[in-house]
Amino acid sequence: MKFSPAYLLVLSSLRVINAQQIGQYEAEDQPYITLKECTIADGCTSRQAKLTLDANWRWIHSTSGYDNCYTGNKWSSQFCANPADCAKNCALEGVTLDKYRSTYGIKQVKDGVKMGFVTKHEYGTNVGSRLYVMDTDDTYYLPKLKNREYSFEVDVSELQCGMNGAMYFSEMDKKGGLGLGDNNAGAKYGTGYCDAQCPHDMKFIAGEANVIDWTPNPNDQSNNMGAGKYGACCAEMDIWEANSMATAYTPHPCGVEGQFRCEGTDCGDNNSNERYDGVCDKDGCDINPYRMGNTRFYGRGPEYTVNTMKPMTVVTQFLTNDGTDNGDLSEIRRLYVQDGNIIDSPPSTILGPNDADSITDEFCDDKKDLFEDVKDFQEKGGMKAMGESLDRGHVMIFSLWDDVEVNMLWLDSAYPLDKPTTKPGIKRGDCAGGENSTPTYLRDTFPDASVTFTNAAVGEIGSTYGPVIPTTPSPNPPTTTPPPNPPTTTPPPNPPTTTSPPIEGPCGSGCCSQDFSDCVSWCGKTESECLSCNQDVAWIDCPGKKCLKRWSECTGNAAGCCNGLTCLAINPDYSQCRYVEDTDSPTPSPVDHVTQSPSTTPSSVRPTPSDNCIPAGSNCFVKQKAQKKAGCDNTGCEQKVCNERESCCQSNNKWNKVCFKKAKKLCKPCPCYESSKDKFFLKTTKSKPNGIFKTCDWLTGQKPKKKKTYCKKYPSFEGTQSARFVCPVTCNIPSCVKDNAIFHR
């Protein structure tokens, strides 16, 4: 859900707003964000992508001088008597890099921007902003998202109830509508905005001014905002709508392609009671952890799983039904990385046997049934339609705004207000609402609030985020619950159950360590054994030394990290002790990615295969880019792959495509075995923390969509594998489908 952002410049003789011609008084000079494009095989390439300010925030004046075309919440009758004349008579001015900061509160920081909430300047006051990522000087960046993941780093610690530091995609035109009507400004000047709420406050749509029936917004106490006859509609993928109290991600499909200038019923306006008659799905199908029953997952402080007082990396994955770029979008997943720990989005707790941890058509059906919501998401085509929209291209957007319509209650409080808070879906967060969430209160009380966005990345599933680090140092290599495509990670056989105590000896005594301070015993007692055990460890000479361990915060204490670690600035206000890989050395060394261990399959599930084949359902040969190694699900083949990797990397110092393909031929798929009575791990719940287990026979009887969902999962539980390993025939695992030797026991 998204309402139009609040923005204002009061007491201004140089009014900042939208226009279609190009002004001549200020040279456009834009900030940037580090943008990475990643693959599993080759890692990430980075560049500095420019960010341009939305046209609605810019100064619009007559093409012949400094006279405003829009003042307060009214158009100039002199220049804007009708839509076409207004577009011809008014110029949209550029913004210098200094004015991005001093006028709009947008500060360049390392790898991104810090977007301020309220900024006072010589002409008045600005609130919030909206930025678009550029591909070239004149075009927006439109990444491919299906069968990919998107990640970025964000700091929301200063965002209060009622604020929204958002990151999302909209199906805008790559050139910003350049050439439509009298739009001669285009993407460079932030034109062409649209979203699924079909906002009427856009000053220009499709190259014409939205002056017809323009009416001041009575909810805007700044007397700055208004609405015209037309709205600007398009599909929208909300990746991140959040403050420090609540967060949600939401797809919004539409029944139109690209930007659509709506009027009347097509706009689906609330005030005409036509919300569900318009061309776009305004509600969307969201996952807000709090709303779905996980009230202690996200919030301010260490008592929450995701602590919003610290920066985090947000990863969103767009999975297709066949695992290819051309498949239909079938699932959207979320995970977080904070302090080096991978944190999966939790399963809902209020849908009973249908609890889920990702957005699918089935989840949306179940959720809307429980909440008694209108199924407009489904009416507009659901996940498939959202995927088709992503294929057409979406612009990457960052914004900070407050809500003059309903005070952001739909994100972080109870909404709608006429429903009891005990009804499922009404409570979205712990914010009290009321006066403390109103724009007037927020602007007066928290003018210095801000949100920081850095390091945006797009790439293959599992390629954009890291490092993979255990939540707490443990004798077991850390286990994670990755999305369907990245490799699974399981502990080595029979690890010890306690961490070896630090050796309080002089430097030189030495031991194997994960955190560069405490010893672990599961990788041997000698340096040679430690470095060859194929786990995320290092040999240290001074165990037990009082120092800042790996992944500890080192802000203001750069020299405090343990020997072998470097205090790296994650953002200007937060630093962390990390191991910095020496990429010039082929010698195995600790890195901030977990090395994949062989995954064991219970002997009760199928006969033990030979050492030269890979069990069906495995996600084999997925490279960990930072380690230059490949993972494999069988001990014998693992050794073959590692040997090939060593041989190849001695000359190239890189696990390149040629080496990767060569190693992949070393092992063949095992014959597929399945018994109808074999049990697989389904999930855990609060009421059943010891796990829910089902048989292959049970899986056979599930609906096709349910079956696909279960068969995509990788997590095991106390030695019992997921459905794709236990029931590979029922799951139609490709290696089984192609293999002539398929056995049912």
Instruction: Examine the domain organization and report whether 504 and 430 are in the same domain.
Output: no
Instruction: Examine the domain organization and report whether 64 and 120 are in the same domain.
Output: yes
> Where does residue 434 fall: left (phi above 0), alpha (psi -120 to 50 degrees), or beta otherwise?
left
Q: What is the CATH number of the domain that holds 316?
A: 2.70.100.10
Domain end among 460, 481, 513: 460
Instruction: Examine the domain organization and report whether 573 and 609 are in the same domain.
Output: no
Instruction: Examine the domain organization and report whether 536 and 656 are in the same domain.
Output: no
Average pLDDT over residues 678-682: 88
Average pLDDT over residues 495-514: 52
Residue 129 CA, chain-centre distance (Å), reads 20
Instruction: Examine the domain organization and report whether 114 and 203 are in the same domain.
Output: yes
The confidence band for 735, taking pLDDT boundaries of 50, 70 and 90, is low
Segment 178-231, tens digit of pLDDT: 999 889 999 999 999 999 999 999 999 999 999 999 999 988 887 788 999 999
Of 577 and 78, the structure prediction assigns the larger pLDDT to 78
CA dist 143 and 399 (Å) reads 18
Tell me how far CA of residue 335 lies from CA of 41, 304, 359, in angstroms: 22, 15, 13
Which residues are tagged catalytic? 236, 241
3-class DSSP assignment, residue 657: helix
The confidence band for 166, taking pLDDT boundaries of 50, 70 and 90, is very high
Of 651 and 693, the structure prediction assigns the larger pLDDT to 693
Instruction: Find tokens 């309903």 and name the residue.
Output: 406
Range of the domain at 116: 21-460
Host H or E run for residue 316: strand 312-320
Segment 293-318, tens digit of pLDDT: 999 999 999 999 999 999 999 999 99
pLDDT computed for residue 512 by the predictor: 83
Residue 2 has pLDDT above 60, yes or no: no
Residue 6 has pLDDT above 80, yes or no: no
CB count in 10 Å sphere of residue 230 = 27
Instruction: Examine the domain organization and report whether 372 and 447 are in the same domain.
Output: yes
Q: Across all residues in the chain, what is the average pLDDT?
A: 81
Average pLDDT over residues 612-640: 53
What are residue 557's phi and psi, to 5 degrees?
-145, 60
Average pLDDT over residues 459-485: 50
Of 5 and 514, the structure prediction assigns the larger pLDDT to 514
For residue 91, what are the β-bridge partners?
A: 21, 61
Instruction: Examine the domain organization and report whether 162 and 277 are in the same domain.
Output: yes
CA dist 59 and 12 (Å) reads 10
Tokens of 59: 């100064």
Give residue 501's identity as a one-letter amino acid code. Answer: P
Instruction: Examine the domain organization and report whether 277 and 332 are in the same domain.
Output: yes
The confidence band for 678, taking pLDDT boundaries of 50, 70 and 90, is confident
Tell me how far CA of residue 484 lies from CA of 110, 227, 318, 356, 670, in angstroms: 33, 45, 11, 14, 21
Tokens of 586: 């082929």
Segment 629-664, tens digit of pLDDT: 455 555 556 556 656 655 555 544 455 555 655 665
Of 689 and 589, the structure prediction assigns the larger pLDDT to 689
Average pLDDT over residues 22-33: 93
Instruction: Examine the domain organization and report whether 501 and 611 are in the same domain.
Output: no
Instruction: Examine the domain organization and report whether 619 and 574 are in the same domain.
Output: no
Give residue 251's identity as a one-letter amino acid code. Answer: P
The confidence band for 710, taking pLDDT boundaries of 50, 70 and 90, is confident
pLDDT computed for residue 605 by the predictor: 33
pLDDT computed for residue 343 by the predictor: 95
Is the CB of residue 227 less than 8 Å from the CB of residue 200? yes
pLDDT computed for residue 348 by the predictor: 97
- Give the pTM: 0.65
Residue 519 has pLDDT above 70, yes or no: yes
pLDDT computed for residue 627 by the predictor: 42
How many distinct structural domains can be found in the chain?
3
Residue 490 has pLDDT above 80, yes or no: no
Q: Does 537 fall in a domain?
A: yes
The residue among 668, 667, 672, 671 whose CA lies nearest residue 726 is 672
Q: Beta 163-170 vs 236-242: how paired, if at all? A: antiparallel
